[in-house]
Amino acid sequence: MFKETIFSKIINREISVDLVYQDELVTAFRDIEPKAAIHILIIPNTFIPTINHVKSIHEKILGRMITVAAKIAYDEGISKDGYRLIMNCNRHSGQEVYHIHMHLLGGQPLGPLLSI
């Protein structure tokens, strides 16, 4: 049902992006349609379509996504004032690319995400 996405081409550097970080587990790059002053996508180099497909073998990758997000936030100068990390799962959440990814947003006041 799920197939490789454009993110695979980004990971393999077949498509040029504003690359922020890459190692053996994750790749991070600036979103081409930013929703905040700083909007960076952090993706695993392993194809995982949705959060529902995450298994215990992926824990190291997910942990790396978080530590890389914190490093990038610091490097971008937004760690002190704050930032938001968002991961969506399936269509009701707004997931558009079926290769899990984390949005790192900051550089401005973001306001409340949801009214609960």
Place of tokens 């079926």: 98
- What secondary structure does DSSP assign to 47-112, as a single string? ---SGGG--GGGHHHHHHHHHHHHHHHHHTT-TTT-EEEE---SGGGT--SSS--EEEEESS----
Which among 39, 53, 58, 101 is annotated as catalytic?
101
DSSP state letter for 42: E
Which run of H or of E encompasses 9? helix 6-11
Known catalytic residue at 101: yes
Catalytic residue positions, numbered: 101
